[in-house]
Amino acid sequence: MSASPLRIGVVGLGRLGKRHAENLAYRVSGAALVAVCSPVEAERMWARETLPAPRVYDDYRALLDDRDVDAVWLVTPSALHAQQIIDALRAGKHVFCEKPLSLDFAECERVIEEAQRHPQLQATIGFMRRFDPSYRNAFEKIEAGAIGRPFMVRSQTCDQNDPEGFFVRFAPTSGGIFLDCTVHDIDVARWLLGMPKAKRVYASGVVALHEGLREFGDVDNGVAICEFEGGRLAMFYASRTLAHGNDTGSEVIGTAGALYIGRNPRANRVEIADASGIRNECAPTFFDRFEEAFLCEAQAFVAAVREGRQSGATLADAMEATRIGYALRESLASGRAVDL
Amino acid sequence: MSASPLRIGVVGLGRLGKRHAENLAYRVSGAALVAVCSPVEAERMWARETLPAPRVYDDYRALLDDRDVDAVWLVTPSALHAQQIIDALRAGKHVFCEKPLSLDFAECERVIEEAQRHPQLQATIGFMRRFDPSYRNAFEKIEAGAIGRPFMVRSQTCDQNDPEGFFVRFAPTSGGIFLDCTVHDIDVARWLLGMPKAKRVYASGVVALHEGLREFGDVDNGVAICEFEGGRLAMFYASRTLAHGNDTGSEVIGTAGALYIGRNPRANRVEIADASGIRNECAPTFFDRFEEAFLCEAQAFVAAVREGRQSGATLADAMEATRIGYALRESLASGRAVDL
Amino acid sequence: MSASPLRIGVVGLGRLGKRHAENLAYRVSGAALVAVCSPVEAERMWARETLPAPRVYDDYRALLDDRDVDAVWLVTPSALHAQQIIDALRAGKHVFCEKPLSLDFAECERVIEEAQRHPQLQATIGFMRRFDPSYRNAFEKIEAGAIGRPFMVRSQTCDQNDPEGFFVRFAPTSGGIFLDCTVHDIDVARWLLGMPKAKRVYASGVVALHEGLREFGDVDNGVAICEFEGGRLAMFYASRTLAHGNDTGSEVIGTAGALYIGRNPRANRVEIADASGIRNECAPTFFDRFEEAFLCEAQAFVAAVREGRQSGATLADAMEATRIGYALRESLASGRAVDL
Amino acid sequence: MSASPLRIGVVGLGRLGKRHAENLAYRVSGAALVAVCSPVEAERMWARETLPAPRVYDDYRALLDDRDVDAVWLVTPSALHAQQIIDALRAGKHVFCEKPLSLDFAECERVIEEAQRHPQLQATIGFMRRFDPSYRNAFEKIEAGAIGRPFMVRSQTCDQNDPEGFFVRFAPTSGGIFLDCTVHDIDVARWLLGMPKAKRVYASGVVALHEGLREFGDVDNGVAICEFEGGRLAMFYASRTLAHGNDTGSEVIGTAGALYIGRNPRANRVEIADASGIRNECAPTFFDRFEEAFLCEAQAFVAAVREGRQSGATLADAMEATRIGYALRESLASGRAVDL
């Protein structure tokens, strides 16, 4: 393993970017947060006050020119990911990039071609569920044969309803519910089923609450079936309208048993017994639910780069997830099954 | 209400028939089990030894001629249902018939036409889940507005794996997994969503363990999406191969909350804490899970007939369930969405 | 087994008496409810309208003189139990009597002496939890060695709070919380631990809500420790003030595992997910929780008498439970441990 | 708040000491781990290799003389706590000390007297459950009135059985199960009930598996009742012999509801459905269960010292817990209730 720490520059300091920056600054052994970059003055101010003296850039190009940065951590708008990854690789930096790789399939291919020219650099897309301790535990149980041969995954990404429908404003650029949310479930399903390729998908959905989505052909509740090679299946559900919290979890069914991951999104270990019954409160957001996953993901990336190996989802994995997500969107629009 | 008890003849004394007969004999107020009918001598013997002195027939026609029988209770092979219902109605008997009404759509229509000629007679198909106390409780909560407007149902019918694959022998006549199992979920979904008509379905499936199903075009794990009118959706799952028991339940999602019915198929109120963790055992069969539903269903039918009103699923409901189940089978075979 | 049914007379038709009467009339194979007895005209009226033509008495003596009654079923005030059992035995009747045998220890002994003069007659005290399917399942698991050697029981009898404090009116005659409620837990603990004798007890309690109990030296929340012979222990909790329902259950701890019975008093199989979290509703009363136990208990008694064997708690078991309950009351009053 | 970090020296680098050292080195904002101390060469070696260049001492006195150390963190054998705290205070250091303050009541008083001479120094005993997020959530709910007036706590500290009975070797110095384990529950009960003083206790226990404890008058399963002033109660359970894991949790019962904390000691968010039923695995040790509590506790101590205020259990709280734990031990030995 490399003796010196991996020197990281975080690009993008929105809500999730801040969290990544704090993890990298204080909680990831072997990492040194040496630079941040944001076009927003308030975010740069936050970095100066909160983080341990990083260099603060307002321009991505300048950060790439910083020779003390070994790796960039992209927490930027989805539309920028592909080109930013390419630029980082050309600048000789390792890349961690939040999902999705791109909403455009041709762009995915362009990034992968570029990456192939830099085999010494790591590039990973942030499908953090692979690092969540419970998902990891399930993965290990499957590897150990606990449920026989896994043949089906049911997976969901469901947000608590935002009565103000803030996310509707992102509908024009989010790629729609399947590329924005279900892309996580697609990666989880492939990861737990042995990385199969998809053969055919079908999707459907409804607008339950947020009428503003209709003009973009989007829905606030979407469902899908995905058939993989080799007799493997997945069912997906994504929602923007749950009442009880962020209810994101998965189920893997095998020939000798099944595993449920996060079936009840408990906020903590407290149960309340009162006139309404016995209940637990639920994690309100995916930040709360996946706080530990984001940290473990960062630790794994840093360790992997220092040890010269891959960790987490490859660019090819991310491209396949995008390819499937695209097909789901197409199916939703056409009302027909889509062959891949 | 009628002063005298409803005199019932049970037709078919297989495993489920015996259960119905015992319920009607001993546990249903207002019912008198006066006759049974079976072509199997051992089953008739059982009836003589176990039940309170019913008349025992080996011929359905003879039972229909019995003027002391007010209602017949058909627990016979699916292929016989339609004609037996028609014969019973023509003989002036009320009819309770186990699901399905028929695997043939034209036959469904024929039964309905006949029933319309006998408006004074009740005819009900046994979708017992509507009478399970937990399903009923969920239905009442929805009626009371507890989850806002319900727009989606996820429902499953999953059997514990039978290592000997006994059910494969019935594959030629069962109608396939969707008409045999999912038909219950279809009825549940429509019932909980306000009895909408289906617009389009898509189905898929795999053979996980029972290779013998392939020659019949059947699967041992099937999934489906069903789109209803009015922005309502359902997802279905049926399995013959679960390791842990009969796991049959449903989930209803509304604009202000969700209800889960039977999410953990607990066998009882016992939890076991040992070196393997903390666990509950599971109900092994649908008999165990729905024992009370079968009883409540019988009580409701008897009460309804005596009060001159309908109870449970109508013939039209059963026909719509068959229509949707057929479309699922067609989709499974073609790999294409099917419009209804 | 006796060929003819056991002819039963139910004595006392309050809320629980009615339930026993209906069970015996309609749901217990081998039983014939032939007589009832109540001093209350409205209750006798109910019997005439609801039950299948029993002989209706207003005088216990008259019922005992009825030669067509094989067994009496005493659901009368506790203070009457001992003498009524003695009278029934002298009249040659089998006896099922609701708990407690008596609140007076000398009376217990008197009943047992009388019973010894009638070895051909069954006499059982109604500790119905032994017949609850979940308790029975736990008992069988223990017998099968599932938790090694059981050495400790934690058991509780907790009622939902009655804001009107109706039960306070019974405080003068109930015997106090330990003889009224915990007596069930005492029997459960002994039954699950192999029927040991108690050596020493300590009890304490508080008045949380019902100040009217203080004048009777009673509490609305009581706790106790009971040490048995042979290195076995029990902890008890009884409450009259729970917010969420009737929460009555037990835990058995052994050298190789533990069993929890009824740890969450779910009303049914429905879970509700809404803005308050994910919850289940709870059984409101012990009638709801132990409905099936009362039925199984009656079925077991009838079967046992017809087969000439004992079922359920013996008079000696009931006397030991009273002895321990008394010691708990004494400990509560004195603040000292009580040796038995 | 102080601008410079709190410079800490960790004393004792056993299993728990290592965990504290790593937390303070890498995960506690505002803390600088500047020194460690251990008499064990292997532990000092570990510190040199793992921690960020602290000064490494083999002698406590030398660490106290280090002027760059602001606070000491004592993770040493219980018998040393009292004198080490006194020495630290005299050396002008803030003190965090693992529980218990002391097993000797007179020593507790001596420490408190010394602390009163140094009002500018913080001294806290490590009852980490107060910092566990779920315990804290329950505390906040109680403060907010969610369960009305809390009047009873049931709390337990239960370890998974160690078949080799390693802990029996510590029986001579552990103080017995109540001072070693239940002392946590005592503190939790007082904290959740408003810090009442105890009036009377009763304790009992059995040796279920570890016969070697008998010669020290200790047990491997202990139970107790503790009566506090003001009509408040607690029940305690401590075990060294559970099969399923570390099952440490608490329940608070109030006049309008109850809270359960950690009723099922889930290892993670995974459930396993297989032939044995549906289960979750359990946290094996208190390290696993309370990992986050240890971290939050350290963060809270550091923040409190820097802000010049108390955090966590005071020395007086620790002394009261010891006083009650002592009385429990005395009650176990005598079989009598003990008045305080």
For the stretch A249-261, pLDDT in tens is 999 999 999 999 9
Per-residue model confidence (pLDDT) at position C310: 85
8 A C-beta contact, residue B147 and residue C278 = no
Cβ–Cβ gap A269/D256 under 8 Å: no
Residues A167 and A193 in one domain: yes
Residues C123 and C253 in one domain: no
Average pLDDT over residues D229-235: 97
Judged by phi (left if over 0) then psi (alpha if -120 to 50, else beta), residue B257 lies in: left
Chain C residues whose beta carbon lies within 8 Å of the beta carbon of residue B133:
268
Q: Tens digit of pLDDT for each residue in B156-182?
A: 999 999 988 888 988 888 889 999 999
Q: Tens digit of pLDDT for each residue in C2-37?
A: 568 999 999 999 999 999 999 999 889 899 999 999
Q: Which residue of A has its CA nearest to B335?
A: A337
Average pLDDT over residues D31-56: 93
**Is A222 within a domain?**
yes
Residues A105 and A253 in one domain: no
B249 CB within 8 Å of a chain C CB = yes
Average pLDDT over residues D90-109: 94
8 A C-beta contact, residue D204 and residue C227 = yes
Q: Tens digit of pLDDT for each residue in C293-323?
A: 999 999 999 999 999 888 899 999 999 999 9
Average pLDDT over residues D85-93: 98
Rounded to the nearest integer, the mean pLDDT of chain D is 95
8 A C-beta contact, residue A293 and residue A132 = yes
End-of-domain residue from the set C129, C152, C186: C129
Residues D273 and D161 in one domain: yes
Average pLDDT over residues B94-103: 94
* Domain hosting residue C65, numbered range: 6-129
Task: Provide the pLDDT confidence category of residue D232 given band limits of 50, 70 and 90.
Answer: very high
Per-residue model confidence (pLDDT) at position A174: 86
**Is A161 within a domain?**
yes
B199 CB within 8 Å of a chain A CB = no
- Mention every residue, 6+ apart, whose C-beta is less than 8 A from residue B56: B35, B36, B37, B44, B47, B48
**Is A72 within a domain?**
yes
Residues A105 and A63 in one domain: yes
> Cα A90 from chain centroid?
24
Q: Distance from D2 to chain A by nearest Cα, in Å?
A: 15
Per-residue model confidence (pLDDT) at position C3: 66
Per-residue model confidence (pLDDT) at position D20: 96
Which of C246, C243, C250, C238 shows the shortest CA–CA distance to C177?
C238
Residues of chain A with pLDDT below 50 are: none
What does the alpha-carbon distance between residue C142 and residue B283 come to, in Å, rounded to a whole number? 20
Average pLDDT over residues D148-170: 93
**Is B316 within a domain?**
no
- In terms of DSSP H, where are the helices of chain D? 15-26, 41-50, 60-65, 81-90, 105-116, 133-143, 171-174, 177, 183-192, 286-289, 291-307, 315-334
Q: Tens digit of pLDDT for each residue in C73-130?
A: 999 998 999 999 999 999 999 999 999 999 888 999 999 999 999 999 999 999 999 9
**ipTM score above 0.90:** yes
Task: Provide the pLDDT confidence category of residue D52 given band limits of 50, 70 and 90.
Answer: confident
Residues D191 and D327 in one domain: yes
Which comes out higher in pLDDT, residue B310 or B259? B259
Amino acid at B169: R
> What's the whole-model pTM score?
0.96
Tell me D195's DSSP state. Answer: S
- In terms of DSSP H, where are the helices of C9-143? 15-22, 41-50, 60-65, 81-90, 105-116, 133-143
Task: Provide the pLDDT confidence category of residue D327 given band limits of 50, 70 and 90.
Answer: very high
Residues D137 and D244 in one domain: yes
**Is A251 within a domain?**
yes
User: The domain spanning residue D191 has which CATH number?
Assistant: 3.30.360.10
D338 CB within 8 Å of a chain C CB = no
Q: What percent of chain B has pLDDT over 70?
A: 99
Mutation target to probe the A interface, by most A beta carbons within 10 A, among D23, D131, D192, D268 is D268
Burial letters D167-201, b for 16+ CB under 10 A, else e: bbeebeebbbbbbbbbbbbbbbbbbbbeebebebb
B270 CB within 8 Å of a chain D CB = no
Per-residue model confidence (pLDDT) at position D1: 54
Q: Is C56 helix (H, G, I), strand (E, B) or coil?
A: strand
Per-residue model confidence (pLDDT) at position C2: 57
Rounded to the nearest integer, the mean pLDDT of chain C is 95
Q: Tens digit of pLDDT for each residue in D197-209?
A: 999 999 999 999 9
Residues B225 and B250 in one domain: yes
End-of-domain residue from the set C129, C163, C192: C129
8 A C-beta contact, residue C238 and residue C177 = yes
The token pair that represents D13 in the structure block: 């680098």
End-of-domain residue from the set C74, C100, C129: C129
Cite the beta strand spans of chain A per DSSP E: 6-11, 31-37, 55-57, 71-74, 94-98, 123-126, 150-160, 198-206, 221-228, 232-242, 249-254, 257-261, 270-274, 277-280, 338-339
Per-residue model confidence (pLDDT) at position B281: 98
Residues B24 and B78 in one domain: yes
**Is C316 within a domain?**
no
Residues B242 and B256 in one domain: yes
Q: What angle do CA A230, A233, A239 make, to 5 degrees?
A: 155
Chain C residues whose beta carbon lies within 8 Å of the beta carbon of residue D145:
none
Q: Tens digit of pLDDT for each residue in B224-246?
A: 999 999 999 999 999 999 999 99
**Is D1 within a domain?**
no
Cβ–Cβ gap B278/D244 under 8 Å: yes
Name A171's bridge partners: none
Chain C residues whose beta carbon lies within 8 Å of the beta carbon of residue D338:
none
Per-residue model confidence (pLDDT) at position D3: 66
- Mind giving me the DSSP string for D123-160? EEEE-GGGGSHHHHHHHHHHHTTTTSSEEEEEEEEEEE
Our count of domains for chain A comes to 2
- Mind giving me the DSSP string for B202-249? EEEEE-SS-GGGGGGT--SEEEEEEEETTTEEEEEEEEEEESSS---E
Residues D95 and D160 in one domain: no
Chain A: list its partners (3+ Cβ pairs within 8 Å): B, C, D
**Is C252 within a domain?**
yes
Helices and strands, number each (H, E), in chain B: 12, 15
Average pLDDT over residues D165-191: 92
Task: Provide the pLDDT confidence category of residue D23 given band limits of 50, 70 and 90.
Answer: very high
Residues B169 and B276 in one domain: yes
Query: Between C and D, how many residue pairs show a Cβ–Cβ distance under 8 A?
Result: 94
Q: Tens digit of pLDDT for each residue in C127-144?
A: 999 999 999 999 999 999
What does the alpha-carbon distance between residue A71 and residue D80 come to, in Å, rounded to a whole number? 48
Task: Provide the pLDDT confidence category of residue C257 given band limits of 50, 70 and 90.
Answer: very high
